[in-house]
């Protein structure tokens, strides 16, 4: 893969700014905390937009803004940062959602103690997440991937709801153990590179040249797959997610659902497909069916939830099922669908968690029965909820539409039956969203519990707008986003096909 | 033959090679003499003499890193590897010294023997790291062990200390007996006391070599705390004064692993497979047992002792891969564990200065509010022991995984994943207790400047040396390459 060096270390700067902000948060008194956090996440977001203007779309497959700092030359470990089309999109999503999360937390009633620590963790998370999406060295990727665990452990454990300690443990233990497999897989790739080429290397570009016998390939693929399947999550490995997402404070859930899950799918895309093309082609039928199974099961789980946050959490799993399914269909439409769905789900799930958090602030409950008709008194909030829900279920014009539509198209390239299966999965997701809307709007509220609800405004409204506007953009002007990553996806597909035919 | 000729034929030992050991030894003797002369002990003076002496020795090593050669007719070898280990041994001893005075004073057992016994322990440990000769190894092993028995028992009024020291004495004596028994077999096999000659000697009776090596290594396995020879370790670590526990977990680990690491490059074709299987199985048992038992501990000091056993297991996993990459991983991990182990036990030593503190797990709740910076540094040590990047513990584990993958020892890698997974339970529990539980009882300790500096340096080094691993790596890599070239 080609690399285009950075004239100006834009990515390291966008990683350093939140870290720097976190230093100031620690050093300065508490009344400056929120301001500093807002400013540093805001600046980072602006930098990401600025880097978008510098991004050469005609070379979307080239790694741009490439920076390279050796860490251990003898082992081929280096801090190499850069963005191709795919990571560019994830980078934008990260900075946007981090800004939204901080904006939301500024006025969140749940966050009433240990404020400095809270914002410290969020700022650090942003740095680490940028590192995850921008690093082209597998060990450095692993380091950032693991580091995101620590802030989330604290965010869930300190500011979460009732079961917070249990959920924090569960979250940490699940992801930590599964990512140890990733560590073993990563170093095994480097060792394999040593055995083939005589030197260690953890660089993605070098590791793409590795070749494995099918047996070893499947073994290494599985080491990677276990880690990312737990992170994504795919259904039998999903049990940590409802707890972690359900018990985290609103902003924690936003970051968890909108970005941390994307780490799993991004890595599946980047590493499992990019590094093991032959194995993926070999295992494709299983993986696709697994993804569809995941969609269906998660949709059923979702329908049976009584707790609004767990409801949203389970709906995330079903969306991730779409991402996984379309990714492993291994054609252009599938890849495009998968990435579009990642981005779209980042927006809708963040918005849904904010809706849940907003309702909790007003009603002090996540119980669906208590929520009956609650949107009646908040017209603005109701509009946003409707937009989000329609976007999430994949109505044309909504952001998830392209993901689901293209998945169906790409499945159709194999057989019609497969496409029908995908459509059935999509159908379930419509059911649960409609069910949510019915509870929120159509069911009448009991007279005795009639309270006056203040509508959404101020910081929280702006947080919502930051998500709703891109949602519309994805829905109505998808070509804007396809342009960013199409080149890199085509390159990857070409590479996979080349590997399959060439040997 | 004239006397003059006789003297002329004797090569005068190259003293330049053992100057650090001499400095440390003289420091010990100086304190010993001062202790004889003065009726009233001046602890501050003794501490300063020790620190200055050790510091000089450390500087000597630091400024002559490439000093190498053998002296005393091959009894003593200085090479990159021994300089590397000795540097960290001395550094960690200085760190431990910073904690001793206030600790012993609070426990009402301030004895002046402590200071010179510490230097004798250190000098023996340094010799252990730099010899191939069975006799030197035996003497150095005895020196370290005897000093450790005494240091463990130095809380004279405490029952646990006595019990721990007694257990250590008995099992330690057994280990030395086994090691010397093994040495005898090896001598019979090759007719030499030099390990290099013994292991590269191609004699007829290979069984003698294997038998000898097994006994010899069992002796060291007891010292290391490898399962099933670990029974003394939790009791001794728990009973010992906590700074001494830190000393045993850091300097002791470095010293006892050194001869085993020296054997690694000498593993020959004909017993390479047996080496991998034996060391691998012991390593797997050690990690699993250490972590499983640590999971149910209520006493944090004992928990960390079991975690020390588990870490011996991880290091042994690297030793099972008798290749250069394995040796590099082992060296990195050894130093990493020495830093983490010293740091975590020294933190406990600091906390124990509060008379209400009993090392129970629940006492950590609320530490975040009473002593925030101590809590942060405790968290960093816990995450490092667990292997969360970017800490030395993580780099060590990643390197061991690399070595295991190099030899395709997948089963051992999976055991390591499993045991690290088990260890998540207790390390994260400690972090959760420290930061997420609130408690009405608040425990405060006034720490001296030296203690603050040491904790700060150790915490920082755990992070920095993990984030910039090249610092230790380059030394580890170089010493491993030299050992393998020999």
- Per-residue pLDDT at A442: 79
User: Nearest Cβ partner of A150 from B388, B420, B477?
Assistant: B388
Q: Which residue ranges make up each domain of chain B?
A: 13-485
Q: What angle do CA B275, B278, B279 make, to 5 degrees?
A: 75
- Per-residue pLDDT at B3: 64
**For residue A309, is pLDDT > 60?**
yes
User: Nearest Cβ partner of A180 from B383, B402, B421?
Assistant: B421
Q: How far from the centroid of its chain's Cα atoms is residue B175's Cα?
A: 17
Best CA proximity match to B171, nearest among B232, B228, B121: B232
Best CA proximity match to B448, nearest among B106, B183, B69: B106
Residues of B in contact with A168 (CB under 8 A): 432, 436
Q: Is B449 exposed, middle or buried (0-12, 13-18, 19+ CB in 10 A)?
A: exposed
Give the separation between CA A59 and CA A425, rounded to whole angstroms.
35
With bands split at pLDDT 50, 70 and 90, how would you rate the model's confidence at A372?
Answer: confident
Best CA proximity match to A171, nearest among B295, B428, B426: B428
Closest residue on chain B to A117 (Cα): B435
| Interface contact B389-A142, CB threshold 8 A | yes
Which residues, 6+ apart, have CB-to-CB distance to A341 below 8 Å?
A319, A322, A323, A326, A400, A402, A403, A404, A407
Residues of A in contact with B428 (CB under 8 A): 153, 169, 172-173
In chain A, the largest separation of any two C-alpha atoms, in whole Å, equals 76
Residues of B in contact with A15 (CB under 8 A): none
With bands split at pLDDT 50, 70 and 90, how would you rate the model's confidence at A108?
Answer: confident
Peptide bond into A437 cis (omega under 30): no
Which residues, 6+ apart, have CB-to-CB distance to A278 below 8 Å?
A212, A214, A217, A499, A500
- Per-residue pLDDT at A378: 78
Q: Which residue ranges make up each domain of chain A?
A: 3-502
Alpha-carbon distance values, A425 to A74, A234, A314, B201, B325 (Å)? 49, 14, 14, 70, 49
Q: How far from the centroid of its chain's Cα atoms is residue B471's Cα?
A: 20
Residues of A in contact with B420 (CB under 8 A): 177, 180
Residues of A in contact with B406 (CB under 8 A): 191, 194
| Interface contact A74-B477, CB threshold 8 A | yes
Best CA proximity match to B427, nearest among B457, B391, B400, B481: B391
- Pairing between β-strand A3-5 and β-strand A77-83 as defined by DSSP bridges: unpaired
- B449 and chain A in contact, CB less than 8 A: no
- Per-residue pLDDT at B276: 92
- B317 and chain A in contact, CB less than 8 A: no
Which residues, 6+ apart, have CB-to-CB distance to A373 below 8 Å?
A440, A441, A442, A443, A444, A445
Interface test with B, best of A69, A75, A158 (most B CBs within 10 A): A75
Q: How far from the centroid of its chain's Cα atoms is residue B212's Cα?
A: 24
Best CA proximity match to B331, nearest among B279, B415, B262: B262
Closest residue on chain B to A179 (Cα): B417
Q: What angle do CA A172, A177, A183 make, to 5 degrees?
A: 120
- Per-residue pLDDT at B168: 93
Each residue's pLDDT, cut to its tens digit, for chain B (486 residues) gives: 566 665 655 667 778 888 999 999 999 999 999 989 988 878 888 999 999 999 999 999 999 888 888 888 888 999 899 999 999 999 999 999 999 888 888 888 888 888 989 999 999 999 999 999 999 999 999 999 999 999 998 888 888 889 999 999 999 999 999 999 999 999 999 888 888 888 888 888 888 888 998 999 999 999 999 988 899 999 999 999 999 999 999 999 999 999 999 999 888 888 888 899 999 999 999 999 999 999 999 999 999 999 999 999 999 999 999 889 999 999 999 999 999 999 999 999 999 988 888 888 888 888 888 889 999 999 999 999 999 988 999 999 999 999 999 999 999 999 999 999 999 999 999 999 999 888 777 788 888 899 999 999 999 999 999 999 999 999 999 999 999 886
- Per-residue pLDDT at B149: 93
Backbone angles phi, psi at B107, to 5 degrees: -85, 5
- Per-residue pLDDT at B357: 87
Alpha-carbon distance values, A380 to A371, A386, A394, A462, B136 (Å)? 17, 10, 22, 12, 83
Sign of the C-alpha dihedral, residues A253, A259, A260, A261? positive
pLDDT in tens, A458-484: 888 888 999 999 998 998 999 989 989
Q: How far is B432 from chain A, CA to nearest CA, in Å?
A: 8
Backbone angles phi, psi at B231, to 5 degrees: -60, -30
Best CA proximity match to B223, nearest among B144, B155, B121: B144
Give the separation between CA A29 and CA B96, rounded to whole angstroms.
35
- Per-residue pLDDT at A218: 95
- B468 and chain A in contact, CB less than 8 A: yes
Predicted ipTM > 0.85: yes
**Partners of A137 in beta bridges:** A203
- Per-residue pLDDT at A293: 92
Interval A348-373 mean pLDDT:
85
Interval A72-79 mean pLDDT:
91
- Angle, to 10 degrees, between the axis of helix A115-134 and the axis of helix A149-159? 150
- Angle, to 10 degrees, between the axis of helix B300-320 and the axis of helix B324-351? 170
Give the separation between CA B320 and CA B317, rounded to whole angstroms.
5
User: Nearest Cβ partner of A184 from B417, B421, B477?
Assistant: B417
Closest residue on chain A to B478 (Cα): A74
Closest residue on chain A to B329 (Cα): A75
- A171 and chain B in contact, CB less than 8 A: no
Please say whether the beta carbons of A25 and A36 come within 8 A: yes
Q: No. of H helices and E strands in chain B?
A: 21, 2
Question: What pTM, to 2 d.p., does this model score?
Answer: 0.94
Residues of A in contact with B431 (CB under 8 A): 153
- Per-residue pLDDT at A129: 95
Sign of the C-alpha dihedral, residues A208, A210, A215, A221? negative
């Amino acid at each position: 893969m080609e690399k285009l060096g950075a004239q100006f270390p834009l990515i390291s700067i966008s990683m350093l700014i939140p870290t720097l902000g976190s230093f100031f948060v620690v050093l300065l008194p508490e009344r400056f905390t929120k301001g500093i956090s807002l400013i540093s996440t805001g600046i980072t977001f602006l930098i990401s937009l600025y880097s978008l203007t510098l991004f050469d779309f005609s070379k979307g497959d080239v790694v741009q803004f490439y920076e390279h700092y050796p860490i251990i030359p003898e082992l081929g470990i280096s801090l190499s940062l850069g963005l191709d089309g795919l990571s560019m999109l994830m980078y934008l999503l990260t900075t946007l959602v981090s800004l939204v999360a901080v904006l939301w937390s500024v006025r969140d009633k749940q966050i009433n103690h240990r404020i400095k620590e809270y914002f410290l963790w969020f700022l650090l998370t942003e740095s680490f997440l940028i590192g995850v999406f921008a690093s082209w060295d597998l060990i450095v990727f692993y380091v950032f991937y693991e580091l995101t665990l620590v802030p989330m452990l604290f965010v869930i454990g300190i500011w979460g709801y009732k079961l917070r300690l249990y959920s924090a443990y569960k979250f940490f233990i699940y992801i930590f153990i599964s990512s140890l497999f990733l560590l073993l897989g990563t170093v095994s790739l480097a060792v394999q590179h040593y055995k083939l080429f005589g030197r260690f290397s953890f660089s993605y570009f070098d590791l793409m040249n590795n070749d494995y016998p099918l047996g070893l390939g499947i073994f290494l693929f599985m080491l990677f797959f276990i880690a990312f399947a737990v992170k994504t999550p795919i259904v039998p490995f999903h049990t940590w997610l409802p707890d972690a997402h359900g018990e985290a404070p609103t902003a924690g859930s936003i970051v968890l659902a909108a970005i941390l899950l994307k780490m799993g799918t991004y890595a599946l895309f980047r590493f499992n497909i990019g590094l093991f093309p032959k194995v993926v082609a070999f295992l494709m039928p299983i993986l696709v069916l697994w993804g569809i199974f995941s969609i269906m099961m998660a949709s059923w789980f979702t329908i049976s939830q009584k707790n609004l946050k767990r409801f949203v959490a389970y709906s995330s799993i079903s969306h991730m099922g779409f991402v996984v399914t379309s990714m492993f269909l291994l054609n252009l439409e599938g890849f495009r669908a998968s990435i579009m769905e990642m981005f779209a789900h980042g927006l809708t799930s963040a918005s849904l968690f904010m809706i849940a958090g907003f309702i909790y602030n007003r009603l002090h409950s996540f119980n669906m029965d208590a929520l009956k008709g609650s949107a009646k008194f908040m017209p603005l909030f109701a509009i946003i909820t409707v937009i989000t829900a329609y976007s999430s279920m994949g109505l044309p014009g909504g952001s998830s539409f392209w993901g689901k539509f293209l998945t169906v198209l790409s499945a159709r390239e194999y057989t019609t039956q497969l496409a029908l299966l995908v459509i059935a999965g999509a159908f379930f997701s419509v059911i649960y969203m409609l069910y949510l809307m019915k509870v929120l709007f159509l069911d009448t509220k009991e007279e005795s519990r009639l309270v006056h609800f203040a509508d959404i405004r101020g910081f929280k409204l702006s947080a919502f707008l930051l998500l709703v506007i891109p949602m519309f953009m994805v829905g109505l002007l998808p070509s804007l986003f396809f342009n960013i990553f199409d080149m890199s996806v085509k390159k990857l597909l070409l590479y996979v096909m080349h590997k399959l035919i060439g040997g | 033959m004239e006397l003059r000729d006789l003297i002329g034929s004797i090569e005068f030992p190259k003293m330049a090679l053992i100057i650090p050991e001499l400095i440390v030894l003289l420091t010990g003797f100086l304190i010993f003499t001062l202790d004889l002369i003065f009726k009233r002990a001046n602890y501050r003076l003794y501490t300063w003499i020790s620190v200055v002496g050790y510091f000089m020795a450390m500087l000597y090593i630091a400024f002559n890193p490439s000093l190498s050669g053998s002296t005393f007719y091959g009894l003593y070898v200085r090479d990159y590897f021994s300089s590397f280990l000795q540097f960290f041994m001395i550094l960690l001893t200085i760190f431990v010294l910073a904690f001793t005075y206030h600790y012993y004073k609070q426990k009402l057992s301030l004895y002046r023997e402590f200071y010179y016994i510490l230097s004798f322990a250190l000098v023996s440990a340094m010799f252990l790291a730099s010899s191939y000769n069975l006799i030197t190894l035996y003497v150095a092993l005895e020196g370290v062990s005897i000093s450790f028995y005494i240091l463990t028992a130095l809380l004279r009024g405490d029952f646990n200390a006595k019990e721990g020291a007694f257990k250590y004495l008995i099992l330690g004596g057994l280990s030395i007996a086994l090691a010397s028994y093994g040495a005898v077999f090896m001598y019979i096999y090759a007719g030499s006391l030099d390990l290099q000659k013994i292991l590269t000697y191609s004699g007829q009776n290979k069984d003698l070599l294997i038998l000898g090596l097994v006994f010899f290594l069992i002796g060291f396995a007891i010292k290391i705390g490898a399962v099933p020879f670990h029974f003394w370790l939790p009791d001794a670590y728990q009973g010992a004064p906590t700074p001494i526990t830190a000393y045993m977990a850091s300097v002791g680990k470095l010293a006892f692993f050194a001869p085993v690491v020296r054997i690694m490059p000498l593993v020959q074709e004909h017993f390479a497979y047996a080496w991998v299987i034996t060391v691998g199985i012991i390593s797997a048992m050690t990690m699993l047992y250490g972590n499983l038992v640590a999971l149910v501990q209520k006493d944090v000091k004992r928990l960390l002792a079991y975690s020390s056993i588990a870490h011996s297991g991880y290091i042994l996993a690297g030793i099972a891969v008798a290749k250069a990459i394995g040796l590099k991983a082992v060296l990195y991990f050894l130093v990493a564990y020495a830093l983490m182990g010293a740091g975590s036990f020294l933190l406990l030593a600091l906390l124990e200065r509060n008379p209400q503190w009993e090392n129970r797990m629940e006492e950590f709740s609320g530490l975040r509010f009473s002593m925030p910076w101590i809590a942060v540094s405790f968290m960093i040590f816990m995450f490092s022991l667990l292997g969360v990047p970017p800490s030395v513990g993580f780099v060590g584990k990643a390197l061991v995984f690399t070595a295991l993958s190099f030899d395709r020892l997948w089963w051992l890698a999976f055991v390591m994943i499993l045991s690290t997974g088990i260890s998540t339970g207790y390390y994260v529990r400690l972090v959760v207790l420290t930061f997420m539980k609130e408690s009405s009882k608040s425990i405060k300790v006034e720490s001296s400047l030296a203690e603050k500096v040491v904790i700060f340096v150790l915490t920082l080094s755990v992070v920095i040396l993990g984030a910039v691993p090249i610092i230790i790596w380059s030394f580890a890599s170089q010493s491993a390459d030299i050992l393998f070239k020999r």
